[in-house]
Structure 1
């Protein structure tokens, strides 16, 4: 089994270690990114993890007026363009996808949705990291009857938070499966059974670095379900 993980810089090893945890020898990873000029390697991937990172340029969701609310030092147009092509291939070929943080936002935009460019400006709680660089933690409600609810098997929990943008208008093909206390979208999944030939799970939190990863349903259950779905598809 080969899983492509989009390159997110210095935090990439955290995602890779998380994907490989308890599966050493069974899973290989491929780092996908414009710096490696290796889009062609995506055809080797049985699954794709879209990682966190930079703000997505608002031109991709037709809101250029939001540019002033984005972080100009935390944007990378080349990454946006590369990962857009990753999405094009992935959805065309029904490759299983797990989107994390920016990954959720990218898929929502790719499928026709928009983003809140800055959560505090929108009047919501601060969901960014603390100044010293540590993740915030807050409760999240899982929507009943969602696929995510079946995976995690709990209606509420505590997750980590490190983002200043979030999904706003949800793409027509997606539905919300998790919300924060202040109404920020914390998870998305397919809205219709017509898409069930492709696995898709999108979470706004960072399961790869949740405290006590192997005991937390919001981390290891996410990884386990993703890997199991890849295995069932390639068998």
Structure 2
């Protein structure tokens, strides 16, 4: 074993086809999360939902130095934050929700560095007792954050001076790639908003009482120039 820090990357349950196999269940995460951690000098480990670890996450976290909560196609179950489902919400993966919420709560309890990306930012906010805007176009009046299926929208985010988000990115204004239809409505207790897009959508939240607990609505793993995942790995190197 080398001295590389081990970074857990959450994985989703999806149905895939490959070779002669059709509609097979699989645990997966986009490869760019893995590549970004490797470029930063970390050892990536995929974390599929696991009922036993959800019940007792400390044993798993003993093996990790940092945690990335990834994005994904599914939305969080609105019941987790006390709302009825919006017509545009879904599908939900309740097993994944329970697993990731258990992991992040335990990680925060031990002050482990955590980065939530897109859906992972939503998990982080709900873990702190916050709520979500289930369909941002209802409040923003546009679909620019996911304008084309299968592509990322390019826009800018403004970050609070001196915030963890700004330090991790290396700037108070940054171009980002995003693809989402949900966002932050009620900010979780203990979290602060440190980034917004020009349309005022919340783009970054963080816990100032912890060394590195950050959620971003964009996808830094899709931009090889982004320093965000490198900053997470550097925190535990």
Q: CA deviation at 1:36?
A: 8.9
Q: CA deviation at 1:88?
A: 2.5
The residue correspondences of 1:86-125 to structure 2 (distance < 5 A) are: 86-125=103-142
Cα contact 2:40–2:233 (8 A) shared by 1? no
Which of 182, 200, 209 aligns to 2:222? It is 209
Which of 67, 70, 95 aligns to 1:48? It is 67
- Tell me the residue number matched to 1:175: 192
Cα contact 1:119–1:127 (8 A) shared by 2? no
Q: TM-score, normalised by structure 2?
A: 0.82
- Tell me the residue number matched to 1:5: 9
Higher helix share: 1
Q: Secondary structure of the residue that 1:168 maps to in structure 2?
A: strand
Q: CA deviation at 1:171?
A: 1.4
Question: What is the RMSD computed on CA atoms of the aligned residues?
Answer: 2.0
Q: CA deviation at 1:22?
A: 4.7
Q: Secondary structure of the residue that 2:142 maps to in structure 1?
A: coil
Q: CA deviation at 1:49?
A: 0.5
Summarize deviations over 1:52-105 as a string: whole Å, max 9, x none. 012111111111x2x033433x32111101111112221222211011111111
Structure 2: unaligned runs, 5 residues or longer: 13-26
| Distance in 1 separating the partners of 2:196 and 2:124 | 17
Q: CA deviation at 1:10?
A: 4.4
- Tell me the residue number matched to 1:16: 34
Q: CA deviation at 1:28?
A: 2.1
Which of 69, 80, 104 aligns to 2:87? It is 69
Q: TM-score, normalised by structure 1?
A: 0.83
- Aligned positions, number: 214
Q: CA deviation at 1:167?
A: 0.9
